[in-house]
């Protein structure tokens, strides 16, 4: 028995040597004029209801197997999930092939979707260009629509002479939260309950000369069944189909980024035919991010979204007595400043001047109380540990 123990101890020690554990925490203060965002931000003192706390761990039992997971506790206004810890991702990553020219493998478990440039790391403040990501592409209003799935993701990396080409394709059951349920409005006092059904996603991404130029094409087909909790309306099906084009140029001191997305949202199967709908919206932003000194950065961004590209101004929506026209679009001018005095400490501030309320979370405001033009200041402290 003693010989057996001696034989396996070094291997076990090597496995535990690969364990890595990290954490992060962010707390923001939000002060706005006219419309609330993430809590009562228009009231005296603003809102402190934007908090992110997470912890992740990973280990590599063998050279071609990685096990990793992250738990996230997040509060973003009155979203009915205040501080409830959730499994953000938890997966096995098995590499089937690895050589000088390519590598390939698969991930299985709860997987963050490879969508756009920022979706997979969007909850860690240090990986975001500002406090908020561009809301036209990375909605916080309905973030769970395309955030993660329980399923399988296949990947391949092709190493070329001047860059790397990445391929991702996957499928599984998407995770829907209360934010998605609150965004669906039907007759009755209760929000519908949603259950994800089989969905697919994919991305092609190219990084030239170590990331000097980044290009990506992302697409997804996200599906769910929902219960309106109203017998006269019945149950229905929800479909979300975004397609995004991404481009980024990075120099030593500055970055220029743009993304454009088409978003199809379809509701079908309801007993009340006028509640079924099939709408295509679009979004884009242009962002300039520059280093001032070694530990200071600033950014300027213009961000545009329309819920219906056939009714960009929302006039038809208002004429049909569905609500104010400005609730169907948003045009956001953002100025941001970041200071990172230590590798594990980040202090950020951000100003938004917004025309429209298209991406305001419905849990923060009643539509009848909103105003078209509004401003917002945000301050955030973020830590890594």
Third-level CATH fold of 26-384: Porin (2.40.160)
Gyration radius from the chain CA atoms: 22
Residue 73 CA to residue 83 CA, distance in Å, equals: 5
* Chain centroid to CA 313: 26
How would you class 208 by CB atoms within 10 Å of its CB: exposed for 0-12, middle for 13-18, buried for 19 or more? middle
Query: Where do the domains of the chain lie?
Result: 26-384
pLDDT value at residue 9:
44
**345 by DSSP, 3-state: which?**
strand
Q: Six-digit token pair at 368?
A: 């009848």
Residue 204 CA to residue 111 CA, distance in Å, equals: 17
> 50-91 pLDDT, tens per residue?
999 999 999 999 999 999 999 999 998 865 556 789 999 999
> 295-329 pLDDT, tens per residue?
999 999 999 999 999 999 999 999 988 889 999 99
Is pTM beyond 0.95? Reply is: no
Look at 134-138, 264-268, 362-366 and tell me which has the smallest mean pLDDT: 362-366
**pLDDT higher than threshold 60 for residue 93:** yes
pLDDT value at residue 10:
47
- DSSP at 221: E
> 40-57 pLDDT, tens per residue?
999 988 999 999 999 999
pLDDT value at residue 13:
53
Torsion sign across C-alpha atoms 183, 184, 188, 190: negative
User: C-alpha dihedral over 114, 115, 117, 119, to 10 degrees?
Assistant: -80
- DSSP at 186: -
278 Cβ partners below 8 Å, 6+ apart?
264, 265, 266, 267, 268
């Amino acid at each position: 028995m003693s010989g057996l123990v001696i034989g396996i101890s070094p291997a076990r020690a090597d496995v535990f040597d690969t364990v890595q554990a990290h954490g992060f925490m962010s707390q923001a203060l939000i002060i706005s004029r006219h419309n609330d965002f993430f809590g009562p931000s228009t009231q005296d003192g603003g809102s402190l209801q934007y908090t992110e706390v997470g912890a992740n761990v990973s280990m590599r039992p063998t050279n071609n197997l990685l096990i990793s997971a992250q738990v996230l506790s997040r509060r973003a206004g009155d979203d009915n999930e205040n501080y409830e810890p959730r499994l953000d991702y938890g997966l096995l990553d098995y590499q089937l092939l690895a050589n000088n020219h390519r590598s390939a493998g698969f991930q299985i478990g709860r997987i963050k979707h490879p969508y756009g440039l920022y979706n997979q790391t969007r909850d860690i403040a240090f990986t975001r260009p500002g406090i908020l990501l561009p809301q036209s592409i990375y909605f916080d209003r309905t973030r769970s629509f395309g955030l993660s799935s329980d399923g399988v993701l296949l990947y391949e990396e092709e190493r070329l002479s001047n860059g790397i080409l990445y391929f991702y394709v996957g499928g599984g059951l998407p995770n829907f939260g209360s934010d998605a349920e609150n965004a669906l409005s039907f007759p009755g006092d209760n929000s519908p309950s949603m259950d994800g059904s089989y969905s697919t996603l994919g991305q092609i991404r190219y990084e030239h000369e170590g990331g000097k130029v980044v290009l990506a094409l992302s697409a997804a087909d996200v599906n769910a069944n929902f219960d309106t909790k109203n017998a006269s309306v019945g149950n229905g099906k929800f479909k979300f189909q975004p397609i995004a084009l991404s481009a980024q140029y990075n120099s030593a001191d500055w970055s220029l980024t743009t993304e454009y997305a088409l978003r199809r949202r379809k509701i079908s199967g309801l007993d009340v035919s006028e509640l079924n709908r099939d709408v295509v919206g679009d979004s884009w932003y242009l962002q300039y991010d520059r280093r001032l000194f070694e530990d200071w950065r600033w950014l300027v961004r213009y961000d545009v979204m329309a819920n219906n590209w056939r009714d960009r101004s929302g006039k038809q929506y208002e004429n049909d007595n569905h609500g104010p026209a400005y609730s169907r679009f948003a045009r956001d001018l953002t100025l941001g400043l970041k200071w990172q005095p230590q590798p594990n400490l980040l202090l950020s501030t951000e100003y938004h001047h917004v025309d429209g309320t298209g991406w305001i979370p419905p849990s923060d405001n009643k539509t009848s109380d909103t105003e078209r033009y509004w401003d917002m200041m945000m301050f955030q402290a973020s830590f890594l540990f």
